Amino acid sequence: MKANKRNIWIVLCVIAVFVYVAIFGLGSDFKGAVDMRFGIDIRGGVEAIFEPEGVDKVPSAKDLESARIVMENRLDAQNIVDREVTVDKEHGNIIVRFPWKSDEKDFNPENAIAELGETAKLTFRDPEGNVLVEGKNVSSSDVQKDQQTGEYVVALKFDKTGAKDFAKATAELVGKPIGIYMDEEQISNPVVQQAIDGGEAVINGMGSQEEAKALSEKINAGALPFSLKTTNYNTISPTLGSGALKAMLMAAAVAFTVVCLFMILYYRLPGLIACLAMVFQMSMQILVLSVPQYTLTLPGIAGLILSLGMAVDANVIINERIGEELNKGSSLKTAVRMGYKNAFSSVLDGNVTTAVVAVILMIFGSGTMLSFGYTLLTGVIINLLAGVWLSRIMLSSAVLYPVFQKPKLFYVKKERKVIDFLGKRKAIFLFTAVVLITGSIISGVRGVTLDTQFTGGVILKYTCEGTPDIEKAADAAEDVLNRPVSAQLTKDFVSDQNKLVLNLGGKQGLSPDDQTKVLEALNEIQPDQKYESSETYAVEPYIGARALRNSGIAIVLAAVFIVIYIAIRFSTLSGLSAGVSGVVALIHDVFIVFLVFGVCKIPINDAFVSVVLTIIGYSINDTIVLYDRIREHMQGHSKEGLVPLVNRSITETLARSINTALSTIFCVAIILVFGLIYNIDSIIVFALPMLAGMISGCYSTICIAGAVWVTWKEKKSKNKSIKQKK
């Protein structure tokens, strides 16, 4: 788009419209933030995995779909309409998720879970409620069209026993209704016109084909040949959810304010333009979540805040390039044009690698990992639009006004003395080795463990009114469950209420009935505490093993992709060596994250996978900027040696690396602070390793990636010289 004075005002109007729509939406079909769909970790709710019981093979897709319909009906009967019921055809599981209502008080999640898994029972009853025919004797049900009336009807076929019972029942009920029930819910009540024999019947009076189809599916579901059980579920209280949401929204507001202040104070007018672009980006990200009603979880919100910090990266690269052009003496218009042109390659490469990492996370992750990956991916895509294209239009338009052409409104990059990083590489390698070895020793002593997500197990959390006797609580739970139980006391900073946490030994899950018995036992031995279930996390080990395997595949695939991508894009740098050197830096960062989990005794969970993949995307983005500058100097036919060239490239990109790191670290640090204040474990175990990983990513780009690549090239050149002499 050609630069025009009016462009900035047009863009500002567009941003204002998007902000309004992002907050309030446009009607019922275009929802905004006020109608955002939050996950159960925010609103509170239940998530359960149901498995077939009493079968020796994976049920057919038809049987699983029938089971899904039954569960939908039962949730409808309990007025639980905001839910997800999905089928895992590969493993024969049914996953049910539903949030609490905003005013939920007396709902019993254990009972709801238990009722969902009971075998559906279809019955035909007389007006007094007596069972005449059972659904197990219905062999099939389908939708047909009556050729005479044109209406849709439901045709039934009975087995031999059902045909006999149905003939007898209809003979006695001519002119009277025969009720069709699913469990205790009446799903149809047709009037018997005549006695029906022959094992076939028709239900008429359907309002539409869809109504007839729905009834037919319910009847078929009633003949489900297996029951369902669950020992894998997660419940979270509404109080924790609302407190967590409040904490994360405050963190987002503070993070955005801090980042904008930093950008404006450091880069001045271009920094202000970048902040306006980020407002547009956040509005777009809200819309890509709210319009399709994509469930937003706490890690998803963390992903939004993180993408805000990473969005700064594109603008930092651009503004640094503009500053370089102004330092060369270029005019303001030329500096802006060349700044965006020279920065585009780095921005594109960095965003592509991060986007692929997000896609891998979405493919192999689920639940919170999927939510995090989705927000990160949309952030990267929108960043290319808002961070590059939109900010360019605004800044190119603004510099046409004399009032915005004052030199003090722009950052001019000063020449920096080249720092001899590579001359200190031995000391850098030694320092790095000491940190890694020390961390490994501490982690080995403290012990690195897998979370129950990956090993299987159960964690139960209860609110109480006083200070519970944790030894009595553990003993009571052990007596009920006949398995090892450890107990600890924590405090909820949202409500200032004590919490009892029970960790159940053994790898088996926990049935809802057993959890109810534990709660009853606790209140029996300590009635003054008035225990109430707050959170439940129960998972079978094979579920966790599958998640761990997928996580490992995701990390390996991300690393392989990065090597291949860099090898192709940076062939000037002998692509393979550049790719491997970049991955060596990534391995350093991943190991640092791993050591944080070990040193801080944080069990390895899906937060570890999310952090690792995010750090991979972030760190390689940083390294690519350095490689891009090295490639630029090499293509400029510089006669200086490899070491001076790389030192100069690191020095020139140093401000960009530090500024991007600082802005992202600000965001992650704010997430961590609010997680600590509000005692939100899922955020703490996410943000703390992420903070260390971000710092490590900046360090590895400046001190490791280039040094490893130069060492590789020097070693290869030395070996080549030796061969030539021979």
pLDDT digits (tens, 9 = 90+) for 105-164: 555 666 666 666 665 567 889 988 888 888 778 887 888 888 888 888 888 888 888 888
* C-beta atoms surrounding 530 within 10 Å: 13
Q: Is the same domain home to 461 and 609?
A: no
* pLDDT of the residue at 675: 78
Q: How confident is the model at residue 313 (pLDDT cuts 50, 70, 90)?
A: confident
Q: Is the same domain home to 263 and 315?
A: yes
How far, rounded to the nearest angstrom, does the alpha carbon of residue 163 sit from its chain's CA centroid? 52
**How many degrees, rounded to 5, is the angle at CA 436 between CA 435 and CA 437?**
95
* pLDDT of the residue at 318: 86
Q: How confident is the model at residue 273 (pLDDT cuts 50, 70, 90)?
A: very high
The encoded tokens of residue 654 equal 């140093």
Who wins on pLDDT, 295 or 338?
338
pLDDT exceeds cutoff 90 at 433: yes
- Listing DSSP states for 8-31 in one string gives HHHHHHHHHHHHHHHHH-SSTTS-
Helix (H, G, I), strand (E, B) or coil at 191: strand
Which run of H or E residues covers position 642? Answer: helix 642-677
Q: Does residue 402 form part of some domain?
A: yes
pLDDT exceeds cutoff 80 at 191: yes
Who wins on pLDDT, 620 or 723?
620
Share of the chain above pLDDT 90, in %: 8
* pLDDT of the residue at 53: 75
Q: Does residue 488 form part of some domain?
A: yes
Half-sphere exposure of 309 (CA within 13 A, CB side): 30
* Beta strands at 485-492 and 497-504: parallel, antiparallel or unpaired: antiparallel
Q: Which residues contact 210 (CB under 8 A, 6 or more apart)?
A: none
Q: Is the same domain home to 494 and 522?
A: yes
Who wins on pLDDT, 273 or 505?
273
The Cα-based distances of 213 to 191, 196, 217, 220 in angstroms read 19, 22, 6, 11
Q: Is the same domain home to 612 and 591?
A: yes
Is the C-alpha dihedral spanning 484, 490, 496, 498 positive or negative? positive
- Listing DSSP states for 589-633 in one string gives HHHHHHHHHHHTTPPB-HHHHHHHHHHHHHHHHHHHHHHHHHHHH
Q: Is the same domain home to 584 and 694?
A: yes
pLDDT exceeds cutoff 70 at 196: yes
* pLDDT of the residue at 492: 59
* pLDDT of the residue at 269: 92
The Cα-based distances of 576 to 252, 289, 347, 349, 586 in angstroms read 40, 38, 21, 16, 15
* pLDDT of the residue at 13: 93
Tell me the mean pLDDT in the region 21-42.
79
Tell me the mean pLDDT in the region 11-15.
91
Rounded to whole angstroms, the Cα distance separating 499 from 491 reads 6
Q: Is the same domain home to 377 and 244?
A: yes
pLDDT per residue over 219-247, tens digit each? 665 555 566 777 666 676 655 555 666 77
| Distance between first and last Cα of the chain | 60
Which run of H or E residues covers position 86? Answer: strand 84-88
Q: Is the same domain home to 374 and 509?
A: no
pLDDT per residue over 679-721, tens digit each? 777 778 878 888 898 899 889 989 998 899 989 888 877 776 6
**Mean pLDDT, rounded, of the chain:** 80
* pLDDT of the residue at 17: 93
**Is residue 299 a contact partner of residue 34, using CB atoms and an 8 Å limit?**
no
Rounded to whole angstroms, the Cα distance separating 279 from 22 reads 11
Q: How confident is the model at residue 588 (pLDDT cuts 50, 70, 90)?
A: very high
Task: Provide the residue type at 214 as one letter.
Answer: A
* pLDDT of the residue at 435: 93
Q: Does residue 485 form part of some domain?
A: yes
Q: How confident is the model at residue 541 (pLDDT cuts 50, 70, 90)?
A: low
Who wins on pLDDT, 16 or 61?
16
List strand residue ranges (DSSP E) for 369-509, in order. Answer: 457-463, 485-492, 497-504
Q: Does residue 232 form part of some domain?
A: no
Q: Does residue 417 form part of some domain?
A: no
Q: Is the same domain home to 338 and 267?
A: yes
Q: Does residue 415 form part of some domain?
A: no
CATH number at residue 206: 3.30.1360.200
Q: Is the same domain home to 128 and 66?
A: no
pLDDT exceeds cutoff 70 at 601: yes
CATH number at residue 78: 3.30.70
Q: Is the same domain home to 496 and 463?
A: yes
pLDDT exceeds cutoff 70 at 637: no
Domain count, the chain: 5
CATH number at residue 664: 1.20.1640.10
Domain boundary among 60, 82, 116: 116
pLDDT exceeds cutoff 70 at 495: no
* pLDDT of the residue at 441: 94
pLDDT exceeds cutoff 70 at 431: yes
213 lies in which domain range?
122-221
pLDDT exceeds cutoff 90 at 436: yes
Q: How confident is the model at residue 442 (pLDDT cuts 50, 70, 90)?
A: very high
Tell me the mean pLDDT in the region 382-391.
79
* pLDDT of the residue at 272: 92
The encoded tokens of residue 381 equal 């895509």
Least confident residue range of 102-106, 115-119, 525-529: 102-106
Rounded to whole angstroms, the Cα distance separating 543 from 545 reads 6
Q: Does residue 304 form part of some domain?
A: yes
pLDDT per residue over 607-618, tens digit each? 787 777 778 777
Q: Is the same domain home to 475 and 572?
A: no
Relative orientation angle of helices 109-116 and 512-525, to the nearest 10 degrees: 160
Share of the chain above pLDDT 70, in %: 83
Q: Is the same domain home to 672 and 606?
A: yes
Q: Does residue 723 form part of some domain?
A: no
How far, rounded to the nearest angstrom, does the alpha carbon of residue 637 sit from its chain's CA centroid? 46
